[in-house]
């Protein structure tokens, strides 16, 4: 059963599934990089007219569309694509073998604290809106993160980043001075 939730970004919708879509966490895929993608489900979805970006997470899929297509035409196609996948497959779309071990070399104590705050306090809230936030780097008091899914290009994402993410990180990790988004 697929349920639909709106997100703060009008060009993005969250499709919730009672089945596991990803067993390896969140992963974002962009139309402009579809030639580098080896997962048939993702490639086919990115081929739908108007689909610009997708974020696969444990139990939801966020789709960001272009202005040229309406949700009325796109929603049934996406739901059908998800249902078709699970009629033919018992396993998640994203499995362990598809993912590189990101940030495995990181053992810095401050970075570990930053990642812990992102994972426990920030990611769950961002996921509720159909997005994700990935740690990229920490240098000279500046945390660089990547906003994904519904958060990518959302009008309110800068405010979320500065008022929410930055304030929380500064509160829990005294070494943090500011947070910036990177692509």
- Which residues are 5's β-sheet partners? 14
pTM confidence score? 0.66
Distance of CA 16 to the CA centre of its chain: 13
Q: What is the pLDDT along the chain (183 residues), one digit of tens a residue?
A: 899 999 888 999 999 999 999 988 888 999 999 888 889 999 999 999 999 999 999 899 999 999 999 999 999 999 999 999 999 998 999 887 533 444 444 458 889 899 889 988 888 888 888 888 889 899 999 999 988 887 777 767 777 777 788 889 999 999 999 998 887
Tell me the domains of the chain and their CATH numbers: 2-98 (3.30.1370.70), 109-181 (3.30.300.130)
Structure-token pair, residue 182: 């990177």
């Amino acid at each position: 059963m697929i349920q639909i939730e709106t997100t703060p970004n009008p060009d993005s919708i969250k499709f919730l599934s009672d089945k596991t879509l990803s067993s390896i966490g969140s992963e974002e895929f962009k139309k402009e990089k579809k030639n580098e993608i080896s997962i048939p489900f993702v490639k086919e979805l990115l081929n739908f007219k108007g689909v610009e970006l997708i974020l696969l997470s444990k139990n939801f899929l966020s789709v960001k569309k272009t202005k040229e297509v309406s949700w009325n035409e796109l929603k049934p196609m996406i739901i059908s694509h998800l249902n078709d996948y699970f009629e033919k497959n018992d396993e998640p779309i994203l499995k362990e073998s598809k993912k590189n071990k990101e940030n495995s070399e990181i053992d810095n104590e401050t970075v570990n604290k930053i990642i812990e705050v992102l994972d426990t306090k920030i990611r769950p809230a961002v996921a509720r809106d159909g997005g994700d936030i990935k740690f990229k780097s920490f240098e000279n008091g500046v945390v660089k993160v990547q906003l994904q899914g519904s958060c990518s290009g959302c009008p309110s994402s800068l405010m979320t980043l500065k008022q929410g993410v930055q304030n929380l990180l500064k509160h829990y990790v005294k070494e943090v001075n500011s947070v910036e988004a990177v692509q």
